[in-house]
Amino acid sequence: MLFGKNRKNRHPVNMFLSTVCLITPISFIYYLLNLGPVLNQLTMPVIKNISFSYREYSNPEELDPEDREIVAMAKEAARNAYSPYSGFSVGAVVRLESGRKVSGSNVENAAFPSGICAERAALACSVSNYPDDKPLAIAIAAMTEKGLTAECVSPCGNCRQVIAEEELRTGDKIRIILSGENKIQVINTISDLLPLQFSRNNPKPDHPL
C-alpha cells in the first residue's frame, strides 16, 4: 500500500506519484493566483475618450468681419438650392487663402444618390477652379419653408469625409462655421467632427492610390 506501515518497502514509483498528487493541486492554485493579475492586464480594454472644444456665438455681429461675410453668403446660397423633394435647402461658402469666396448649394435629384450637398458642391468648385488656393474656412446655413433653421446644421458624413480629404490635400485646417437662427458654432478643424477618419494612410501598401 502507498501509505502502509513499512515505509521502507515503498516502491519508488508509488513515492513519486504520491508526491505529484500532493504538490500538483497546491502548485496549480498558486499558479492561478499569480496568473490572475496577468490575465486581467491582458483582457482589460484601454478606455480612451474623444472630445473637442468649439466656440459658440449668439449673434453674427460677434464674429469677425470675414466670418460674418461668408455666413451671410451661405444664407443667400441656401436660397439658390434645388430641394423639391426634401424642402431642406443648404448653402455653403468656402473662403480661400487669396480671399476668394466660392458658393455651393444642395442640388437634389429624383434618383436620390445623384444629388449633391452644398458643402461638396462648394469644395468641388473651389478645387476645380482654384486648385492652388487653399480653403481656410467654410460657412454652412440651412433653410426650410419657415426660414433659417433655429439650430446649426452640421455637415453629413459624406461632406465631412470630403472636407477631411481637402485638409489632407492642402495640409491646412479648415474652420467650419455652422450658422443657425439661435446660435453660431465655430469648429477649428474637421478632425473634431470626424475623429478616427478614413484617409489615404488606411489602404494597404500593395494598393497604391
Q: Which listed residue (108, 119, 166, 167) is catalytic? A: 119
Residue 18 corresponds to which cell in the numbers above?
A: 504520491
**SS (HEC) of the chain:** CCCCCCHHHCCHHHHHHHHHHHHHHHHHHHHHHHHHHHHHHHHCCCCCCCCCCCEEECCHHHCCHHHHHHHHHHHHHHHCCECCCCCCEEEEEEEECCCCEEEEECECCCCHHHCECHHHHHHHHHHHHCCCCCEEEEEEEEEECCEECCCCCCCCHHHHHHHHHHHHHHCCCCEEEEECCCCEEEECCHHHHCCCCCCCCCCCCCCCC
Instruction: Give catalytic status of residue 119 as yes or no.
Output: yes
Active site residues: 119
